[in-house]
Structure 1
Amino acid sequence: MSIEVLNEADPTVFNALIEGVRQHLHEQMGTETTQPLTLVARDRDGNLIGGVSGRTIYRNFLIEVAWVAKEQRNTGLGRKLMARAEAEARNRGCLVAQVDTLSVQAPGFYQKLGFATVGTVPGFEGSPARHFLLKQYL
């Protein structure tokens, strides 16, 4: 056996790791396919000004990234994107949405949308706190 340190992203290795996790999940919970879920907003010129991207699996909406361009913040665009993404997730049968965010990012934004903090990794010098949030659709 050998253990290597890879200092560059290797998609082949990453995909093999994901497939190993997926196989284990299928053995424990049955097969289910992850479905990507992405919504984007563009300005009149077609420039990306915001979006939400994640995936749905096992009745969960896993939000991986949400972003709104600086010029579009505080206009309601983020709320609109999230509402549309959550509606699509519920249409797919999701019962919860999950997201994590740093204290310097948007925990308050998600809390205003009904997400509750379910865990926090405290910040330390050089690293902000990380908040894990959950919204139940039950």
Structure 2
Amino acid sequence: MTMEFTRDDSNEFADAVKQKIAEFNWQHWEVSERLPLGLKLENEQGELIAGLSARTFGNWMMLDNFWVSDQLRGQQIGSQLLAEAERIAKERGCIYAILDTLNFQAKPFYESRGYQLQWTQQAYPKTGCKYFMTKALSSVQTNN
């Protein structure tokens, strides 16, 4: 049998593959629910000026995207946004948070808010690096 691969660089195809992986994972994961978590701040004109998207599942909140406009940086907006996401995650039962950030982004910001570096991907995408960080959101409770 001869197989011929077809190239498809579309977002629709990437989403279809992602969905197939999710379907497989749900059959094997001990977690039955993954919930989106989104927070935004808009100005009077309805324009996005800060936003955060994450997801919660099991013990974890995974921070996917986090952005604050240049005009708002240094005014504690990012700190408040992150704290609110962590509060919601804890409310949902999460005890850890995980994220990644690039070397020119926000590593010091996250460190000052309790995130710890777990692993560094060197030479990413060429000469930079990507940091993978976690934070304990609350004390781990064990049943003794």
TM-score interval for Structure 1 and Structure 2 normalised by the shorter chain: 0.7 to 0.9
Gaps of 5+ in 2: 140-144
**Matching of residues 78-117 of structure 1 within 5 Å:** 78-117=78-117
Which residue identity lines up with residue 4 of structure 2 in the other structure? S
Cα deviation per residue 1:51-83 (whole Å; 9 max; x = unaligned)?
111111122111110000001101100000000
Provide the C-alpha distance between the structure 1 equivalents of 2:111 and 2:49, rounded to a whole number of angstroms: 22
Gaps of 5+ in 1: none
Provide the C-alpha distance between the structure 1 equivalents of 2:57 and 2:14, rounded to a whole number of angstroms: 19
Provide the C-alpha distance between the structure 2 equivalents of 1:53 and 1:125, rounded to a whole number of angstroms: 23
Deviates more, 1:25-34 or 1:86-95: 25-34
Question: What root-mean-square deviation, in Å, do the aligned CA atoms of Structure 1 and Structure 2 show?
Answer: 1.8
SS of alignment partner, residue 134 of structure 1: strand
Give the Å deviation of 1:125: 8.1
**Matching of residues 1-138 of structure 1 within 5 Å:** 1-9=3-11, 11=12, 13-30=13-30, 32-123=32-123, 126-137=126-137, 138=139
Count of paired positions: 136
Which residue identity lines up with residue 7 of structure 2 in the other structure? V
Provide the C-alpha distance between the structure 2 equivalents of 1:80 and 1:133, rounded to a whole number of angstroms: 19
Provide the C-alpha distance between the structure 1 equivalents of 2:87 and 2:69, rounded to a whole number of angstroms: 22
Cα deviation per residue 1:84-137 (whole Å; 9 max; x = unaligned)?
011001101111111101000111111111000100011368442100010112
